[in-house]
Amino acid sequence: MICAATRAGSPEQALADMEEARRAGAGLCELRLDYMRDPDLPRLLSARPLPVLATVRPEWEGGRFEGNEEERLALLGEACRCGAEYVDFESRAGGRFDPGGAKLILSYHDFEGTPADIEGTASRMRARGPFVVKVACLARGAADLARLVRLQRSLGPGSAVVAMGEVGEPLRVLYGRYGGWLTYASVRAGSETAPGQFTVEDLVRRYRVPSIDAGTELYGLVRDDGLPAWGPDLFNEAFRSIGRNARCVRLRRDGEPALKELAEAMGLRGVWAGGGAGDFLRGAAGQFRSWTGRPLPEDVLRGYSGKP
């Protein structure tokens, strides 16, 4: 499921964001109440066009809420009483939170890196019995991303592992392939609530995330100076053109051992470095044939032949 995170400052903007996200293909909205002035929850939640995950992220967990903990929990409780379907509660907050009729997302965030004991942290969170365990960490390199992919695989249903930052982009796209419950996206470019978020439209149109399943073949395109930003798009359009359930994602060059570890963790069927800019289309055609046994469709090739 794609969850559109909105950081709207008013109920009116939040409702407009939710409607925009719904039209783009999101199935859930994370309502970041820590960004909002005077949320007016009864009116806001009664008019919501999407199911809502209510979040009041405190400053000590990377959010914007400046009040005390009593005020924060009161706002979360009001969101639950007003009909929010889900509520986010930080695992490092003191005590426990009663979500009432809402389902509890127990969360952990690290915006600096991926801790050495993240697996143990996730295990302890699951033991508390939430509806979903959410772990979001900054992936600083391929080794971090490999660990987070393996963590998502091991946790399976009832979990959401987020790899933040540019390096973590593949897991935001392929979360469902590894058993993740949801992925977070921004409503539009420039409105991200965490580093590395795609827009809802990117996930739906560029990567066709809703149709990724256990049988989806995975391939990686390694970033280098000659790799155009649209490189994965060419492969993904070609896969779609021939009816192949496959996706290509970008990987950061991070040394051969780390890249090999990541490819194994992700279950990639192939990895290609892309070559120089001038030779990219010629090389892509050969690589597509190597991966699929089929020629790269001419109409797809023509669509990218004039791009810088």
* Residue 103 appears among annotated catalytic residues: no
Q: Which domains does the chain show, CATH number per domain?
A: 2-210 (3.20.20.70), 217-304 (3.40.50.10860)
pLDDT in tens, the chain (308 residues): 999 999 999 999 999 999 999 999 999 999 999 999 889 999 999 999 999 999 999 999 999 999 999 999 999 999 999 999 999 999 999 888 999 999 999 999 999 999 999 999 999 999 999 999 999 999 999 999 999 999 999 999 999 999 999 999 999 999 999 999 999 999 999 999 999 999 999 999 999 999 999 999 999 999 776 688 899 999 999 999 999 999 999 998 887 899 999 999 999 999 998 755 558 888 999 999 999 999 999 999 998 887 76
Helix runs in 156-307, H state only: 169-174, 200-201, 231-241, 256-266, 280-292, 298-304
The per-residue pLDDT for 273 is: 84
The per-residue pLDDT for 275 is: 59
Neighbours of 216 (CB within 10 A): 17
Neighbours of 40 (CB within 10 A): 14
The per-residue pLDDT for 276 is: 55
Q: Which of 103, 134, 260, 307 is catalytic?
A: 134
The per-residue pLDDT for 268 is: 98
Nearest Cα to Cα of residue 109 among 122, 128, 96, 127: 122
Q: Which of 103, 109, 260, 307 is catalytic?
A: 109
Cα–Cα distance, 202 to 192 (Å, whole number) = 13
203, amino acid identity: L
Cα–Cα distance, 169 to 161 (Å, whole number) = 12
Nearest Cα to Cα of residue 36 among 60, 59, 55: 55
The per-residue pLDDT for 225 is: 62
Burial of 271 (0-12, 13-18, 19+ CB in 10 A): middle
